[in-house]
């Protein structure tokens, strides 16, 4: 993995916020920042060559201006810029896979909290093998790069998700040492049709879920003893419970299981729901 943070820039307020957030993250990690812009390739371009040249000059100016403004905020940060060719989701996914993470902007839902994850963002997330962080235009990155605040990680304790926990613990360690790990679950449907069933059974199931989460988290607690970990196993829909736990946090981390499909890459319903509705920066981490 190349040790730098990459951010996608398209001239929108959302990508500008993503660039500021990415600069703060690069400072936290002590790594360079790469700002990338994708020139969309079309089989039958609708613009003339002269228009294409104007577009390239606009892109170069955008990259130069953004780099300059971030240099002014963070004089010690190493910043590079790069123009990429190809379709944006594929080009950005390649940029993500050569970086520690890729940061993208996402549109807010107007008066509602959360994102509208457009086709470029969703296509990039579905293809990238390294973490992709989605940032809203209203997200403010501290000028000095400090970003204290709790990290919330939504996990499935029934399946391995080491990449997700590694990312979440590392981020929590850099941001003040507080991590909330959430595994939401629902009892088997049959319990809803058995009112006479011993209530102790539900308690036993709840304890088993909590033990499974403890076992999953324990090795990472040993590796990151400075991180204060809160474990929760609420009953309910996973996305809803993660969103409820995310209030007043700095970052939400959610997983995307890597799956081969004849219908193309997918994000997963939980990751999509959290990324779509969360008002905070959301990191989507691909894992087996």
Same domain, 279 and 177: yes
The list of the chain residues with pLDDT below 50 reads 1, 42-44, 109-115, 193, 262-264
The verdict on 26 and 89 lying in the same domain is: yes
Residue 243's domain comprises 148-288
- Looking at the structure, tell me whether residues 42 and 77 fall in a common domain: yes
Instruction: Note the pLDDT of residue 55.
Output: 82
- CATH, residue 162: 3.40.50.620
Same domain, 170 and 246: yes
User: What does the pLDDT read at residue 113?
Assistant: 47
- Indicate the average pLDDT of the chain: 85
Same domain, 103 and 156: no
Q: Does residue 59 sit in the same domain as residue 91? A: yes
pLDDT the model gives residue 192: 53
Of 140, 167, 196, which residue constitutes the final position of a domain? Answer: 140
pTM: 0.87
- Residue ending a domain, among 94, 120, 140, is 140
For residue 239, what pLDDT is reported?
93
3-state SS, one letter per residue, for the chain: CCCCEEEECCCCHHHHHHHHHHHHHHHHHCCCEEEEEEECCCCCCCCCHHHHHHHHHHHHHHHHHHHHHHHHHCCCCCEEEEEEECCHHHHHHHHHCCCCEEEEEEEEECCEEEEECCHHHHHHHHHCCCCEEEEECCCCCCCCCCCCCCEEEECCCCCCCHHHHHHHHHHHHHCCCEEEEECCECCCHHHHHCCCCCHHHHHHHHHHHHHHHHHHHHHHHHHCCCCEEEEECCECCHHHHHHHHCCCCCEEEEEEECCCCCCCCCCCHHHHHHHHHCCCCEEEEEEC
pLDDT score, position 17: 93
Give the chain's domain count.
2
């Amino acid at each position: 993995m190349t040790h730098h943070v990459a951010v996608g820039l398209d001239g929108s307020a959302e990508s500008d916020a993503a660039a500021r957030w990415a600069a703060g993250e690069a400072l936290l990690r002590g790594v360079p920042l790469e700002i990338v812009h994708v020139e969309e390739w079309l089989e039958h371009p609708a613009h003339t060559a002269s228009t294409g040249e104007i577009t390239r000059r606009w892109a170069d100016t955008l990259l130069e201006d953004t780099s300059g403004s971030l240099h002014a905020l963070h004089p010690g940060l190493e910043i590079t810029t790069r123009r990429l060719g190809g379709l944006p989701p594929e080009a950005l996914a390649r940029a993500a896979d050569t970086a520690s993470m890729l940061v993208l902007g996402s549109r807010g839902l107007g008066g509602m909290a959360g994102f509208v994850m457009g086709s470029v963002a969703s296509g990039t997330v579905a293809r990238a093998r390294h973490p992709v962080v989605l940032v809203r235009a209203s997200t403010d990155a501290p000028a000095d790069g400090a970003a204290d605040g709790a990290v919330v990680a939504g996990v499935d304790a029934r399946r391995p998700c080491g990449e997700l926990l590694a990312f979440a613990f590392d981020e929590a360690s850099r941001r003040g040492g507080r991590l909330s790990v959430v595994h939401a679950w629902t009892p088997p449907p049959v319990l809803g049709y058995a009112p006479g069933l011993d209530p102790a059974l539900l308690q036993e199931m709840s304890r088993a879920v909590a033990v499974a989460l403890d076992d999953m988290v324990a090795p990472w607690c040993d590796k990151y003893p400075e991180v204060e970990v809160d474990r929760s196993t609420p009953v309910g829909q996973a996305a809803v419970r993660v969103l409820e736990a995310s209030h007043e946090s700095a970052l939400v981390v959610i997983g995307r299981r890597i799956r081969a499909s004849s219908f193309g890459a997918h994000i997963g319903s939980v990751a999509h729901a959290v990324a779509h509705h969360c008002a905070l920066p959301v990191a989507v981490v691909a894992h087996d």
